[in-house]
A = this chain, B = another copy of it.
Amino acid sequence: MTLINQKYTSIEQAIANIPSGASIMIGGFGSPGTPFALLDELLAQGQSGLTLIKNDANEPDIGIGRLIRAGRVDRLITSHIGLNRVAIDEMNQGRLAVEMYPQGLLAEKIRCAGAGHYGFLTDIGLGTEIAGARREIECEGKTWAIEPAIHAEFALVHADLADEYGNLVYRGTAINFNPLMAMAADHTIAQAFQVQPPGNLPPETIHTPCAFVSQVVQVELASSEQGRRAHAV
Q: Are B122 and A120 touching (Cβ within 8 A)?
A: no
Using known A-B contacts A117-B121, A121-B119, determine if residue A148 contacts B139 with beta carbons closer than 8 Å. Answer: yes
Complex: A120 Cα to B117 Cα, angstroms = 7
Q: Are B120 and A171 touching (Cβ within 8 A)?
A: no
Interface size on A, residues (CB 8 A): 27
The verdict on A108 contacting chain B, using a C-beta distance below 8 Å, is: yes
- In the complex, per-residue mask of A127-162: 1 if CB is within 8 Å of any chain B CB, else 0: 000000001010110101010100000000000000
Complex: A35 Cα to B108 Cα, angstroms = 30
Q: How far is the CB of A205 from chain B (nearest CB, A)?
A: 6
The verdict on A41 contacting chain B, using a C-beta distance below 8 Å, is: no
The verdict on A169 contacting chain B, using a C-beta distance below 8 Å, is: yes
Complex: A118 Cα to B142 Cα, angstroms = 10
Q: Which of A108, A119, A146, A171: most chain B CB closer than 10 A? A: A119
Contacts of A170 in B (CB 8 A): 204
Closest to A204 in B: B171
Using known A-B contacts A146-B139, A205-B205, determine if residue A123 contacts B115 with beta carbons closer than 8 Å. Answer: no
Contacts of A118 in B (CB 8 A): 120-123, 139, 142, 144
Contacts of A139 in B (CB 8 A): 118-119, 135, 146, 148
The verdict on A94 contacting chain B, using a C-beta distance below 8 Å, is: no
- In the complex, per-residue mask of A95-117: 1 if CB is within 8 Å of any chain B CB, else 0: 00000000000001000100111
Closest 7 CB pairs of A and B: A118-B121, A120-B120, A118-B144, A119-B121, A117-B120, A117-B122, A171-B204
21 residue pairs of the A-B complex, CB under 8 angstroms, read A108-B117, A112-B120, A115-B120, A116-B122, A117-B121, A117-B122, A118-B120, A118-B122, A118-B123, A118-B139, A118-B142, A118-B144, A119-B121, A119-B139, A120-B121, A135-B139, A140-B148, A169-B204, A172-B203, A172-B204, A205-B205
